[in-house]
Structure 1
Amino acid sequence: MGVRIRQADERDRDQVVAILEEAFHNDPVSSWVFPDEEDRRAVHGKFLGVFVDVTLEEGRIDLLEDGTATALWLPVPAGAPEEEDPTPALMRETADPDNERAELVGRLTGAVHPHDRAHEYLLMIGVSPERQGEGLGAALIDEVLQRCDREGVPAYLEASSERSRGLYERLGFTFMGRTVDLPHGPSMWPMWREPRSS
């Protein structure tokens, strides 16, 4: 598929947030974190902006040149973190301090995140709704997965819907066997991909 991808930087922050907000506005997890539609519209971008800021600082953001899709990747070293991850609390503080779900989702996914091997973590990928189903997400992920294969590095993610789980399975990810079950809400599927040898 002939898509042009570039690495985003600080100047692209607002565009990346806008793509993610549009792509995840009706996502089961986002709808659970912010069940009120009006509230979600007001604070969802702030919530997602925390992920974008962390990734701009510590990882890599790929962006389709036409501005319709983006992927956020973080390199995760082997070994359990020495300190508690401040990101979940920052998500809540930034987006909606009175909403404990804005923090809980990060704590629950963090609790199951594997740390026995260094890997690339696909934190988020978003495709504008009018372009979903065209293979843009797969094209966006493929470049990083090819590098993972060349370098012998696994990859990890949490699928937030059955539809996205199917896409990731086609790309070689496998469900790790235990869902993250949000209280009175949807499930997420932790997925792992071993590097493929050429």
Structure 2
Amino acid sequence: MKHSNDIQLQKSSEVIQLQKSQVSAASIVAAKAFEDDPILAYIISDDREFRLQSLTWLMSKAIAYSTQYNHVYTTQDLDGIAAWLPPEKVSSSLLQLLKMAWSLQLYALPTKIRWSRLGRCLKLLLAIDQAHQQDMGDRPHWYLNVMVVNPAAQGRGVGSQLLQPILQRASNEGIVCYLVTFVEPAVRFYQKNGFEIVQAQKIAPDAPPFWTLKRNP
């Protein structure tokens, strides 16, 4: 017989859909997890408080955008967030990219980062988009828009659990999964979950790298 504490722990770690009412809380969790990523410091600001505020805004837009497609996963305690874009909503066409940029309110980006870093930010966005087109072209694929684990919940397998709904679906449907990440430990995490590195790039000699990865079905 399971003890009540075991049942409660199992329930709290169960993968569920993120609700729109949780976007604000989820964006805070995501921003805290990403605030020390070196490339985000490079493109936003060295000021930790300013960077956290900017990241909270960016994460709220990215997560809210993803919720409209009903593939954003979390746990009861918001231990992490995995936000996917489905194949029919992932496109490298200019019109689709402009629509996404408008929905994400990227026109407000200059007010959310240091002016001196705006060029770096735009250069990174362009490099990621070009790599995406090179890697996937018109091939249908699931795109991992946001993947984060609350620092307090890391090391418990939460990240792998959150990936499973779409990894399993993609395997069943024969569709590739694709993502971009900015930290090397995350690369190793994704490799353990069946992804392989496609590209590793830097936007400048002094910039931290980013990696693109895909998982074949």
Coarse TM-score class (shorter-chain normalised): 0.7 to 0.9
Q: How far did residue 93 of structure 1 move?
A: 4.4
Hey, what's the Cα distance between the residues in 2 that align with 1:148 and 1:111?
Answer: 24
Partner SS state of residue 67, structure 1: coil
In the other structure, the counterpart of 1:181 is 202
In the other structure, the counterpart of 2:28 is 18
CA RMSD of the aligned region, Å? 2.3
In the other structure, the counterpart of 1:169 is 191
In the other structure, the counterpart of 2:43 is 33
Structure 2: tracts of 5 or more residues without a match: 1-8
* TM-score where L is the length of structure 1: 0.87
Q: How far did residue 74 of structure 1 move?
A: 0.7
Bigger helix fraction: 2
Hey, what's the Cα distance between the residues in 2 that align with 1:94 and 1:73?
Answer: 27
Identity of aligned residues (%): 22
Q: How far did residue 19 of structure 1 move?
A: 1.3
Count of residues in correspondence between the two structures: 194
Partner SS state of residue 83, structure 1: helix
| Residues 1:91 and 1:173: Cα distance change in structure 2 (over 3 Å) | farther
Q: How far did residue 80 of structure 1 move?
A: 3.7
Runs of 4+ residues over 3 Å off in structure 1: 76-80, 88-91, 101-104
Partner SS state of residue 72, structure 1: strand
1:127 pairs, out of 135, 142, 149, with 149
In the other structure, the counterpart of 2:109 is 92
**Structure of larger gyration radius:** 2
Q: How far did residue 33 of structure 1 move?
A: 2.0
In the other structure, the counterpart of 2:216 is 194
Hey, what's the Cα distance between the residues in 2 that align with 1:27 and 1:105?
Answer: 14
* TM-score where L is the length of structure 2: 0.80
Hey, what's the Cα distance between the residues in 1 that align with 2:122 and 2:195?
Answer: 26
Q: How far did residue 169 of structure 1 move?
A: 0.6
Q: How far did residue 107 of structure 1 move?
A: 2.2
Q: How far did residue 97 of structure 1 move?
A: 7.3
Hey, what's the Cα distance between the residues in 2 that align with 1:69 and 1:91?
Answer: 26
Q: How far did residue 106 of structure 1 move?
A: 2.3
Partner SS state of residue 140, structure 1: helix
In the other structure, the counterpart of 1:6 is 16
Partner SS state of residue 97, structure 2: coil
Q: How far did residue 64 of structure 1 move?
A: 1.1
Hey, what's the Cα distance between the residues in 1 that align with 2:168 and 2:107?
Answer: 33
Hey, what's the Cα distance between the residues in 2 that align with 1:29 and 1:132?
Answer: 21
In the other structure, the counterpart of 1:49 is 60
Partner SS state of residue 85, structure 2: strand
In the other structure, the counterpart of 1:63 is 74
Hey, what's the Cα distance between the residues in 1 that align with 2:203 and 2:111?
Answer: 21
Task: Answer with 161-170 or 43-52: which moved more.
Answer: 43-52
